[in-house]
A and B are shown apart, each in its own frame.
Chain A
Amino acid sequence: MGLIDALLGRVKPAVPRRDALFSISTAYITLEANLDIRHAGVAGICFKIVSSTTFERLQSDLEELLTLAKRDTATEYRIEKDSFGYLWIVLRDNDFEDLVTTINMISETVIENGFGGALLSSVFKFKNRSGKEIYIIYNYKSGRFYPFVPEGARQRDEQYELKLNAVLSSELPLEKDISKWYPMWGLPL
């Protein structure tokens, strides 16, 4: 169908996939056991703002849901816009499972309301023993994860990223094409 749509010039938003999202909740155990990397208790979800009233309603619905979730799981949330005009919902919780569940709930709500095409990525923050910040990014359209380890303002620790890639390859569906490991500088996490 993809080719026929392309030839007819019919554009559809890419279908988001969240089936693989949950695999991060087991992968973090591997990270801790093998590399002594711990989760930092922060995760974020990023999406493009669609300029419609219905989307604004979705946003306020999400806030309501998150307020409810806060009572249940004590997950703190913060909403902010980044310098590229994308919306971030940043979650804080010391329980990693709760973070994953809430990220999944947000993704599900966005998709169910017809705005799945706007989902860009989810980001989970980790730290190793020496305090190095490590991010595992989930791309909704490919349904794959990739590591991102920033070093300073515009550098990445590629060696460390490749190491993570090797360790996690049996746990997570990882993006095999390294050229798609797009950096996300200045993460609000």
Chain B
Amino acid sequence: MRGNDWYGKDWGLTVRMVLTVGLLIIVYLAFLTILAQFMEAIPLLMIAAVFLMAQYYFADRLVLWSTGAKIVSREEYPELHTMVERLCNLANISKPRIAIIDTPIPNAFATGRSQNKAVVAVTTGLLQRLNQEELEGVLGHELTHVKNRDVLVITIASFLSTIAWFVMRFSFYSSLFRGGSRDRSAGATIVIFLVSLLVWLVSFLLIRALSRYREFAADRGSAIITGNPSALISALLKISGVMKRIPTRDLREVEGMNAFFIIPAISGDTIMSIFSTHPPLEKRIERLSAMERAMEGFHGSY
């Protein structure tokens, strides 16, 4: 065997992913340690766990409901079903349920807490605008989100961030209402407020970074499954081009839910890149082009 593959390697991505997760863990551990100094943290953790479990458990239904996506059968969309089946076969994953959203905006997302509960949804606009290979590229991207268990990864990563947010709100209101009656406890409340604000901010940025790396990974996975990075590039260009022209209001509502869109529903140059869930289009295209080059540089045993 040669130590080489046609799709090349991306160690940088793995390293960044590990670093981000490592930093998140450090921030969270520090947060828990500080929190434990000031208050009984266990009940709070339990409440947040229940809250997140519910969100995680109902992820698919919640997202489907709010996007108006309808699960479609093989009889309704035979070609789409076959396309997904074949890609699932190639990637050796179970076939997710397939949903359609009736909107001219071209987009797609994956959701669901496990491979068995996964749903991949595409809009009618996507089906109309993309050719077969481009559509495969988008489906490959979404299937990689499923394969990588991205809903689970981001839910776990967001767990303590959500707690920090709760604590921050809680300590803010309690300091408002008690209005500095006792100096010692007021001081503690301010410390808790500041610490949780900091934790929330830092973890928010880290989670967004993690999310962007998951998007890169999904692009990569798509290129590997379909064997055609250029088709995904052309799909990304088409989708983002159309999205700039058409208002995307109806898909904005699901931002922040456990759904992984191919192109963020809120797009454009208004969001700073460190706050963004998706890497900038140019970077994604750059990485995919690098894969294309790796493919042409690969000569197998020839």
Contact = CB atoms under 8 A, between A and B. Distances in A.
A179 B116 CA distance: 12
B90 A8 contact: no
Nearest to A46: B86
Given A54-B298, A113-B300, A7 B227 contact: no
- Most chain B beta carbons < 10 A, residue from A7, A52, A54, A113: A52
B295 A50 contact: yes
Interface in A135-189: 139, 141-142, 154, 179-180, 182-183, 185
Interface string A103-120: 000000000111101101
Contact of A112 (B95, B153, B226, B301): B301
A17 to B, nearest CB: 10
Interface of A: 6-14, 48-55, 57-58, 84-86, 112-115, 117-118, 120-121, 139, 141-142, 154, 179-180, 182-183, 185
Interface string B225-241: 11111110000000000
B273 interface: no
A46 B140 CA distance: 18
Contacts of B17: 8-9
Interface residues of B, number: 54
Contacts of A52: 6, 227, 295-296, 298
Contacts of B228: 49-51
B217 A9 contact: yes
A9 B13 contact: yes
23 contacts: A7-B149, A9-B213, A9-B217, A14-B92, A50-B6, A50-B227, A50-B228, A51-B227, A51-B230, A51-B292, A84-B82, A84-B132, A113-B300, A113-B301, A113-B302, A117-B225, A120-B89, A141-B90, A141-B92, A154-B78, A179-B94, A179-B95, A180-B94
- Most chain A beta carbons < 10 A, residue from B86, B136, B144: B86
A48 B214 CA distance: 25
A14 B231 CA distance: 21
Contacts of A84: 79, 82-83, 86, 132
Contacts of A11: 144, 147-148, 217, 220-221, 224-225
Contact of A114 (B75, B214, B230, B300): B300
Contacts of A182: 82, 85-86, 89, 95
A182 B216 CA distance: 30
Given A9-B213, A84-B86, A48 B227 contact: yes
B221 A51 contact: no
- Most chain B beta carbons < 10 A, residue from A12, A14, A115, A183: A14
A142 to B, nearest CB: 7
A10 B217 contact: yes
B298 A48 contact: no
A121 B149 CA distance: 26
Contacts of A154: 75, 78
Contact of A49 (B75, B86, B91, B227): B227
B102 interface: no
Contact of B91 (A7, A14, A50, A185): A14
Nearest to A115: B6
A95 B62 CA distance: 56
B245 interface: no
A114 B90 contact: no
Given A12-B224, A52-B295, A114 B148 contact: no
A156 B231 CA distance: 33
B6 A54 contact: yes
A117 B90 contact: yes
Contacts of B13: 9-10
Nearest to B75: A154
Nearest to A10: B14
B249 interface: no
B298 A114 contact: yes
Contact of B148 (A7, A13, A14): A7
Nearest to A112: B301
B299 A54 contact: yes
Contacts of A57: 300, 302
B97 to A, nearest CB: 11
A7 B21 CA distance: 10
A77 B144 CA distance: 35
B2 interface: yes
A94 B221 CA distance: 41
A48 B226 CA distance: 7
